[in-house]
Amino acid sequence: MVLSIHAVILILIVTLAAIIDVYKRIIPNWLTYPALICGLVFGFLPDSGPTITNSLLGFAIAFFPALLMFVLNSLGGGDVKLLAAIGAWIGFPMIVDVLVYSAIAGGGMALILIIWKGLFWSLIKEFFIKLFSKKSNTALTINKMRIPFGVAIALGTGWALFLPPYY
């Protein structure tokens, strides 16, 4: 499989975002905003990726659900902007693959972290206490744990580029 320069640059962007997210727990604006702008500009160029319509649709499909997750305190702002940039960069329908694969990677990372920290059974217990008790108003232990979701986004993007589409 031969990757276009467009795909190689995207891989470099998401890899850099993942590395920075691991070490600094932030995905910087100096990376996400230019990636977003370039993704939209590429939509106007012939044979450089998705059309501007697909690029805008990819942006919207990535941005609005991610924004909702940000409002619910499940994603950081950098994650939202990175997903929006990827959506503009690869367009629709491929952004759907990125979102699905990123969610799978993030869930896998969270499960590994829970098991590694020895919290699996205590989380199951907390879950059932919260489910059946009217008194419990404390947050689950899992709510206190954070993973660098930029890594999951990078994995999801890579999978979407290298695996055949599932639709």
- Is the preceding peptide bond at 93 cis, omega within 30 degrees of 0? yes
70 vs 139, which has greater pLDDT?
Answer: 70
Mean pLDDT, rounded, for 152-167: 88
Summarize pLDDT for 116-153 with one digit per residue, the tens.
888 888 888 887 887 787 665 555 555 566 789 999 99
Judge whether residue 21 has pLDDT over 80.
yes
Residue 64 near residue 135, CB atoms below 8 Å: no
Domain range summary for the chain, segments of one domain joined by +: 5-162
The residue that leads in pLDDT, 57 or 113, is: 57
- pLDDT surpassing 90 at residue 113: no
